[in-house]
Structure 1
Amino acid sequence: MAERDEPEAAGGGGKEAELKKELESVVNKMLEEDDFRIEKTVQAIRILTRLGESKLNKPAGLGIDDPILSESFKCPLSGKIMGDPVILASGQTYDRPYIENWLNQGNLTCFQTKEVLSHSFLTPNCLVRELISRWCGVSGVAVPEPPKDVRGLITTRDRLLLSSLLDKMSSSLSDQKEAAKELRRLTQALESNRVAFCGLPGAISRLLSPLSESVVESHPDLQEDLITTVLNLSTHGNNKKAVAENPVVVPHLIESMKFGTMETIKNAAAALSTLSELHSNKLIIGRSMAPMALLRLLDGGHPLAMKEAASAISNLCTVDENKTLFVTIGTVNVIMRKINDSLLVDELLGILALLSQHPTAIYQLSEVNTIHCLMRILRQSNSSPTKENCVVILFAVCSRNRDLLKVLWIEEEHNKTLAELADVGIGRGKRKARDLINKIDDAFLNFPSTS
């Protein structure tokens, strides 16, 4: 007899019995076959859906206080109604974030059955999700949102694992490499590991101890894993202060921007960029040799590393002390060369806008070619931040320099670039464009009348 895609409707009390009988038949066939077709799974889900609908259509036992039904929709790990139910290899259903956290802790068994899992793939349980939604509707309960990521949970097992890996940093070279690779993976995968790591005694100094040995220069893979781990740790807000204030971190990052794999150089610059997001770290980094190392990387590094260096410099230049430092070491000239070469134009204009408030930077930018370059970018760019940065720099350079203001006036007479920005621009860029037009008018057009 041919299989039916769906059971026929049954009336009264016989409906559930027929559904159960058909479900039993399909499940038995699935168990008997080593490689059953997906169609059988779909058929079983359809039958279960009909069975669930039959249950939900009963008037009794559907209140919010129904202990049997509500308990069946709770995740065994969280004890809460599931927002994103998934099926584990054992066949048990859990809320996704909680079972993911269980698996990420290294557990290879089902939480409920203790069965060793053949795989860790999670399959969405669409049936249970639909039943929960319908039950909530009938019971007058809000449908639960998929819960937020619970990977922030830190366990004793996490700490012991991280500590054991750190112990290997004082062991053989092969142990160091193995541990460094695993620490890189763990701190990238889970926020909880990034939090737990920095809570361990002397963790950062222990992690970077191999970098103090000359042998690391012959093993760039080890250096790359260690520096990338520092970057991973730095992405967590609560770690930034502890990482930057450790006396070995910034010097090792500076050194790693000079040699190593391209990934090492890029990630060392990225770590300085991430750490410099915290205000108290800006002075720590600015008072080291990092500014010169970042500028060298910006001037002659790989484009990906240059981008990270630009980001770090931008963060650091929000502090006046660092602005003065970067202007003094020649940042303005390096940036203008890169902009003229059409490299990282948007990013570098942001830095230049910050530096353009410094008197020495204004002097260094006071060239006719600079005005023409900025006006060209202003006409060609579709980016509002880029336009704003251009006009901010132009205002700083030209507003008190009559000769350059005249160059700007002649440019404006031909192209109406500022007028267009003042008309259709937004925010600060629009205001600065109007201010520049007023400066031009006051200097060259609004002559006092003579009688």
Structure 2
Amino acid sequence: MGPAAEDDESEARGIRLLDSLSKLACEISSLPEFRGPFRRSCCDLARRAKLLSPLFDEIRDGIGDEGSVEGIEVGALSALLDALGSAKDLLLSINQGSKLHQALKGESYAIKFQEVTRSIDDALNGVPYEKLEISEEVKEQVELVHTQFRRAKERADSPDLQLLSDLSLAQIGKYSDSNILKRLSEKLQLRTMNELKQESLALHEMVISNGGDPDNCLEEMSSLLKKLKDSVLVEPPMSENLESKDISSMYRSPVIPDDFRCPISLELMRDPVIVSTGQTYERSSIQKWLDSGHKTCPKTQQNLSHTALTPNFVLKSLIVQWCEANGIEPPKKAGSSQDVRSGTRADCDHETIRLLLMNLQSWSTEKQRAAAGEIRLLAKRNGGNRVCIAEAGAIPLLVALLSSQDSRTQEHAVTALLNLSINEGNKASIVSSGAIPEIVKVLKNGSMEARENAAATLFSLSVVDGNKVMIGEAGAIPALLDLLCEGSPRGKKDAATAIFNLTIYQGNKVRAVKAGIIGHLMRLLVDPSGGMVDEALAILAVLASHHEGRTAIVQSEPVPILVKIMRSASPRNRENAAAVLWSLCSSDMQLLLSAKELGAEEALKELADGGTDRAKRKAASLLDLIHRNLEA
């Protein structure tokens, strides 16, 4: 290529760069409104970039038909394009990213702003705009902007000390009112449920893109986000057009239990599934994680032995039950509708189901095993299948297979019944087919997988109050207690959940106490590594409301561990510990004195100020007991 051709190519490249620079400056100036802790830094950077736009336009317009870019180096334009590109990327990441991460890692973000500012200043140093044929107005404007970039690169924005203080206090929970959370909501602009939902999605995307916990602060961010969500739910924004009483009734909403939130999205789970490490996630969130090529558990960082996702039917039932109890529409899987008896048969393969039912009645163990396994999978797949399989008459046949001598057939049968029981209409059919005594037999004598799924099935059936009595009378509680002691982590959770639900019925409280449950629960309380403290306390809180339960709990000398839990455990566990202590001490002044001597009063005062509503009531009642009976 000759010198003339090289000049032409250089000029053409210069023109392209000017066009790109003008477009980039326009894109930066049209970015959405900036929010969060770096709002000022973003606005300053975007405004300065916008003020450079006339420079590019005038240089480009001055080229005219001659195609000359004399007086300016193409390399300088290229450096400036790269610098402004970095500025746009930073602004987008701030605008679309997690505000909590920006607040917690403010120093690293401040460094990024300085680096971008420095690169723009360096690039402008290579552009001889003072020699270019541009208007004096534009020249003065560019010189002013350049001066601003030069000054900005030498100084970092001072940290927001109030924000840092509020973050620190909110993280350790040392706040007596909502003022700190209000300030954080305003500063981070996370004031509405929609804004908080966007923050949840931003955290989700950050975990996915980072391949795990970003900067090892996911737990901190999740905890802060939950507190901000709870604060918004408790104190909704007021409107001048509505009376306060009407507002509170419109916005009153229960706090979602932590166990019902997906660890990735922090939202109420619609379709909870279990991964190989035993952790539960929302199906869509964990599937996105796996589809991105990850082979680890996001919460524990353990390698996944397999990527199969097992539906957590017990948790799903608990979530539905909690929603119904609190007047909330139960969550549905995306793109699906609730199980109904009408309008679902068209999606079923009736001929396949008919053949499978014939094989369930075969004399061949292999055919029975294969058919039960297929029905198990079909019932797991969707609500329409659950309706069709039940209407085809499968339930009595599956109940009959619960006594099969083939352990795998038995596992398939009890799990198929578990899946079918998700449909409310099928629960009655399962019970009327005589399933409860047979399921209890599997719970006592089956393989570990069969026992665990039998426990989950009993829980699912026990959602109907009348079934609680039948399940207790069938001898399920001692068998569930055995599983609670020797099962896998998932099996222990299933057993505890079933026991908790069954002991809501008074007669089952006595059965549980006589089976020796209190000693086992107390052992679980003092072993946090077992991961069963939450469940043990919840069951104790139910049993403590019964005379025999209280008597057995007192004999296990529970006061020291209950006081310890009230001091430092999670809000829900502190609440349950206070509830148990109240049940015990309200009729035993000696226990009340023992609790006071162990320092319960200080913990109760903290709960009365900052605990859950139930914890506040229990703590206030216990403090009143102490003042009336021990300080007279």
Judge same fold: TM > 0.5, yes or no. yes
Deviation digits for residues 62-109 of structure 1 (CA, Å, limit 9, x no counterpart): xxxxxxxxxxxxxxxxxxxxxxxxxxxxxxxxxxxxxxxxxxxxxxxx
Of residues 417, 424, 436, the one that matches 1:230 is: 417
For residues 304 and 175 of structure 1, what CA distance do their matches in structure 2 show? 30
Show the counterpart of 1:334.
520
How big is the shift at 1:148? 4.7
| 2:345 alignment partner, SS class | coil
Show the counterpart of 2:266.
none
Of residues 402, 407, 416, the one that matches 1:211 is: 402
Of residues 376, 379, 401, the one that matches 1:184 is: 376
Of residues 277, 280, 291, the one that matches 2:466 is: 280
Show the counterpart of 1:10.
none
Show the counterpart of 1:263.
449
How big is the shift at 1:348? 1.5
For residues 367 and 256 of structure 1, what CA distance do their matches in structure 2 show? 33
The within-5 A match list for 1:99-118 is none
Show the counterpart of 2:565.
377
Report if aligned partners of 2:443, 2:454 keep a CA contact under 8 Å in 1. yes
Show the counterpart of 1:100.
none
Cα distance change on mapping 1:147 and 1:402 into 2, 3 Å = closer
2:384 counterpart of 1:196:
no
How big is the shift at 1:160? 3.4
Show the counterpart of 2:595.
408
| 2:402 alignment partner, SS class | helix
For residues 521 and 389 of structure 2, what CA distance do their matches in structure 1 show? 38
For residues 175 and 267 of structure 1, what CA distance do their matches in structure 2 show? 22
How big is the shift at 1:255? 2.2
Show the counterpart of 1:240.
427
Report if aligned partners of 1:368, 1:407 keep a CA contact under 8 Å in 2. no
2:346 counterpart of 1:158:
no
Report if aligned partners of 2:398, 2:414 keep a CA contact under 8 Å in 1. no
Cα distance change on mapping 1:327 and 1:147 into 2, 3 Å = closer
TM-score by length of 1: 0.61
The within-5 A match list for 1:166-177 is 166-171=357-362, 172-177=364-369
For residues 188 and 408 of structure 1, what CA distance do their matches in structure 2 show? 49
Cα distance change on mapping 1:150 and 1:443 into 2, 3 Å = closer
2:386 counterpart of 1:386:
no
How big is the shift at 1:328? 2.5
Cα distance change on mapping 1:155 and 1:148 into 2, 3 Å = closer
CA RMSD of aligned residues (A): 2.2
Deviation digits for residues 232-290 of structure 1 (CA, Å, limit 9, x no counterpart): 0111122112212321x222322222344432221111111111111121111111111
Show the counterpart of 1:421.
607
356-365 vs 325-334, which moves further = 325-334
User: Post-superposition, which runs of at least 4 consecutive aligned residues in structure 1 deviate over 6 A?
Assistant: none
For residues 261 and 212 of structure 1, what CA distance do their matches in structure 2 show? 12
- The amino acid that maps onto 2:388 is A
Report if aligned partners of 1:353, 1:390 keep a CA contact under 8 Å in 2. yes
Report if aligned partners of 1:166, 1:207 keep a CA contact under 8 Å in 2. no
TM-score by length of 2: 0.44
Of residues 362, 367, 374, the one that matches 2:550 is: 362
Show the counterpart of 1:14.
none
Q: How many residues align?
A: 293
Deviation digits for residues 405-435 of structure 1 (CA, Å, limit 9, x no counterpart): 111111227x711111111112111111011
Report if aligned partners of 1:234, 1:240 keep a CA contact under 8 Å in 2. yes
2:536 counterpart of 1:348:
yes
Show the counterpart of 1:115.
none
For residues 440 and 351 of structure 1, what CA distance do their matches in structure 2 show? 26
Cα distance change on mapping 1:289 and 1:422 into 2, 3 Å = same
Deviation digits for residues 352-372 of structure 1 (CA, Å, limit 9, x no counterpart): 111101111111122584101
Report if aligned partners of 1:282, 1:316 keep a CA contact under 8 Å in 2. yes
Cα distance change on mapping 1:298 and 1:156 into 2, 3 Å = closer
For residues 478 and 554 of structure 2, what CA distance do their matches in structure 1 show? 24
Cα distance change on mapping 1:306 and 1:225 into 2, 3 Å = same
For residues 429 and 403 of structure 1, what CA distance do their matches in structure 2 show? 22
Of residues 464, 471, 477, the one that matches 1:291 is: 477
Of residues 511, 521, 529, the one that matches 1:325 is: 511
How big is the shift at 1:349? 0.9
Report if aligned partners of 1:378, 1:390 keep a CA contact under 8 Å in 2. yes
For residues 177 and 316 of structure 1, what CA distance do their matches in structure 2 show? 31
- The amino acid that maps onto 1:391 is A
- The amino acid that maps onto 1:365 is I
Unaligned runs of 5+ in 2: 1-333
Report if aligned partners of 2:376, 2:416 keep a CA contact under 8 Å in 1. yes
Report if aligned partners of 2:399, 2:433 keep a CA contact under 8 Å in 1. no
Report if aligned partners of 1:244, 1:284 keep a CA contact under 8 Å in 2. no
Show the counterpart of 2:8.
none
For residues 402 and 582 of structure 2, what CA distance do their matches in structure 1 show? 47
- The amino acid that maps onto 2:625 is K
Identity %: 34
Cα distance change on mapping 1:434 and 1:224 into 2, 3 Å = same
- The amino acid that maps onto 2:595 is L
Cα distance change on mapping 1:158 and 1:393 into 2, 3 Å = same
- The amino acid that maps onto 1:439 is L
| 2:560 alignment partner, SS class | helix
Cα distance change on mapping 1:150 and 1:355 into 2, 3 Å = closer
For residues 234 and 147 of structure 1, what CA distance do their matches in structure 2 show? 21
Report if aligned partners of 1:412, 1:418 keep a CA contact under 8 Å in 2. no
Deviation digits for residues 267-326 of structure 1 (CA, Å, limit 9, x no counterpart): 111111111111121111111111121112112322221110110011111111222222
How big is the shift at 1:158? 3.2
For residues 244 and 377 of structure 1, what CA distance do their matches in structure 2 show? 40
Deviation digits for residues 376-421 of structure 1 (CA, Å, limit 9, x no counterpart): 1121212x322211111001111221211111111227x7111111
How big is the shift at 1:176? 1.2
- The amino acid that maps onto 1:314 is F
For residues 455 and 572 of structure 2, what CA distance do their matches in structure 1 show? 24
| 2:349 alignment partner, SS class | helix
Deviation digits for residues 194-251 of structure 1 (CA, Å, limit 9, x no counterpart): 11222234x212123333343x1xxx2222211110110111122112212321x222
